[in-house]
Amino acid sequence: MLTRALRTTTGLWFAMAIFISAFLVFQVQPIISKTILPWFGGSPAVWTTCMLFFQLLLFAGYSYAHLLTKLATPRIQGAIHFTLLLMTLTVLPMTPSPDWKPQGGDDPTFSILLILLANVGLPYFLLSSTGPLLQAWFANRVPNGSPYRLYALSNVGSLVALISYPFVVEPALTTSSQGQIWSLLFCLFAAVCGFLAASQFRKTRGSEKAHEPDVVADNSERPAWKCYFVWLALPAFASMLLLATTNHVCQDIAVIPFLWIVPLSLYLLTFIICFDREAWYARRWCAGLGVLSLLVIHGAAFWATRWSMPIELVAYFTAMFFTCMVCHGELVRNKPTPKHLTAFYLMSSAGGAIGGLTIGLLCPWLFSTYVEMQICMLSAAVIMSGVFLIDAQATWLGNTPSRRAIGILGYCFVFIVVAFVEFGGGDDGIVKSMRNFYGVLQISESPWGTSLIHGRIIHGFQFRHPRLQKLPTTYYGEDSGVGLALKHFRDGQPKRVGAVGLGIGTVATYGKPGDYFRFYEINPKVLEIANDNFTFVKNSDAKTEIILGDARISMERESSQQFDVLVLDAFSGDSIPTHLLTKEAWDVYLRHLKTDGVIAVHISNQHVNLEPVVRRLATEVGFECATIASPDLPPQSMPARWILMARGNAFIASSEVQKRSLPLSDTGKFPLWTDQYNNVVQLLRIY
């Protein structure tokens, strides 16, 4: 909603520059993140690290805008910014080359930050500075205009960018095309912003005073330190909640732009609503609905209610939305006059950066579990209940002693419910918890044996009894797809077996004297657990070797291993590393597979139907395939689905496979997944 000032020619130029910059800021995030995601094992932490980088650079851009307007005259401001715009054009296009792929399996946080800095650092820095800098110029050029409306407009541009990516950009364009189009749009932005920077030269010398801010003057006093604290703390918590919620939903579904973009879009929507018009933030409704959403989430958890994926997403995103509405609504209630505009944005961006640092670096270093989500949920309960109580006592509830007691009891009830559910549950036999870039791994002990858990998914189980310790369990039983392949393919002959994903090494129990099992594992903690807490690998009769690092990158760099059987079982929680299911990945696998070899792909997933992807790949490379379902026989066997693929029909047509095969479903004309194009959204199970 544009004011009369924005309808002028000057206002339109400012509006255009800010809208385009905001659009580019939030288009580059999913583009670059999806481009480098395959290089780092498809971990959810890739997105968290990227968000940390963008928040830090946003703070740097806001700092630049604040210092430039405070220390330089309008002419110097224009000259500096115009020069930086020209310099930025020399680093385009922004898509990183494959030379940036990591070499080993160390913590890749620094590598990701370095890739982002080298490829999008300078463009993103200038884009992030555009909002506060141009709002300051606008406030000086159009004294009667409201620069905060431009901030709302910038968030509209950001929201358009985010919504268009999963529904328009990602389905229609390859990642390389996305990067090229983004670079062209940046050139358009540079032209518009360069024009505004050059227009600063047209100011008369008499209107400039050395070292005076280029913001309309007013007689307002400097904000108190409490205001600066509010400007810092509220955005910090909103940022923490955004990242914690995104991390939570990605752990058990899939690391895909859709699940990055939905919470980020809701987060930006709260900015748009709150900054466009203060009246749109109603304390009573926002805080009240936020408290209600938290009670629904924790009430369902208390009664052990298992939701379907869409309902669970809606519940968590609703709680996040109303919490961010309260944080940003209270932030706007404490905003300063335009004289202190850049300081306000600087502190807000610093809060966002603090939130990113807390979730991206501090929490993984301090905690061995994802306790930050629990902390955020409890903090959200405290904030929203407190705001709701303040509003109630000031309006409909009143502030008499008896009514004050009712309000406090309600506040305590919400706090106790959330605290009990988040921190009062049992440990389910957890004896060890480990956390790194790739997630949280936990060791659970039961009377029967030991399990490895990632998120809410069991990744392996071994019996405690010595006579049962070599028995294949969970998804790898003798009736499973991988069991059939390893037992019956070339039965009695030595085999060379490759396994993408180590887990606890259950597959190694099929090893016989003369066999060779080569495991590829990206997570050093998994290797440590498989060696220290389980005995499948060390007690295998086959020769075993474990290669640390991303499986696909490792296989690309080594000579052909001539595997008889290749097992693909690289899951993170219940999420999918999509880069292992593309045509380019399959070309790598086929180079390492014997002509008549078998590929066994584990497609069990609660939320994503992977069968169309794998069967389309099988058709592309000329393989026959069969889908095998294994029974649920706890504690030994868990239900699992595998697809067996082979060139030629001999093994697939064998009686051992056919009597376990499921009827092939009609996948239609499913598109082939490539590194440049893959879309998990179309595979989500809606139930």
Instruction: Output the pLDDT for position 127.
Output: 87
Name the most confidently modeled range: 149-153, 167-171, 518-522, 664-668: 518-522
Report residue 215's pLDDT band, with 50, 70 and 90 as the boundaries. very low
Per domain, the residue ranges of the chain are: 1-203, 472-683
Length of the chain: 687
Residue pair 223/340 in contact by the 8 Å Cβ criterion: yes
Element (H, E) at 441: strand 439-445
Residue 45 has pLDDT above 60, yes or no: yes
Instruction: Output the pLDDT for position 591.
Output: 94
Q: Residue 550 has which token pair?
A: 């991303």
Of 211, 196, 186, residue with least CA distance to 79: 196
The CATH architecture one would assign to domain 472-683 is 3-Layer(aba) Sandwich (3.40)
Mean pLDDT of 340-361: 81
Residue 608, beta-bridge partner list: 684
Instruction: Output the pLDDT for position 66.
Output: 81
Residue 687 has pLDDT above 60, yes or no: no
Percentage, residues of the chain above pLDDT 70: 85
Instruction: Output the pLDDT for position 97.
Output: 75
User: Which residue shows structure tokens 């002990």?
Assistant: 445
Q: Say which DSSP state 633 is in.
A: B
Q: Residue 63 has which token pair?
A: 């700092």
Mean pLDDT, all residues of the chain = 80
Residue 207 has pLDDT above 60, yes or no: no
Instruction: Output the pLDDT for position 103.
Output: 65
Mean pLDDT of 100-114: 74
Mean pLDDT of 644-668: 79
pTM: 0.74
Mean pLDDT of 654-680: 77
* Region of poorest pLDDT, from 392-401, 592-601, 620-629: 392-401
Report residue 499's pLDDT band, with 50, 70 and 90 as the boundaries. very high
Domain 1-203 has CATH 1.20.1250.20: yes
Report residue 42's pLDDT band, with 50, 70 and 90 as the boundaries. low
- C-alpha 561/C-alpha 498 separation (Å) is 8
Instruction: Output the pLDDT for position 520.
Output: 92
Of 125, 349, 106, 372, residue with least CA distance to 246: 372
* Region of poorest pLDDT, from 363-367, 456-460, 516-520: 456-460
Number of H helices, E strands in the chain: 21, 12
Residue pair 499/545 in contact by the 8 Å Cβ criterion: no
Residues sharing a CB contact under 8 Å with residue 476, sequence separation 6 or more, in sequence order? 482, 483, 506, 507, 509, 640
Phi, psi of 89, rounded to the nearest 5 degrees: -60, -25
Instruction: Return the amino acid letter for 598.
Output: V
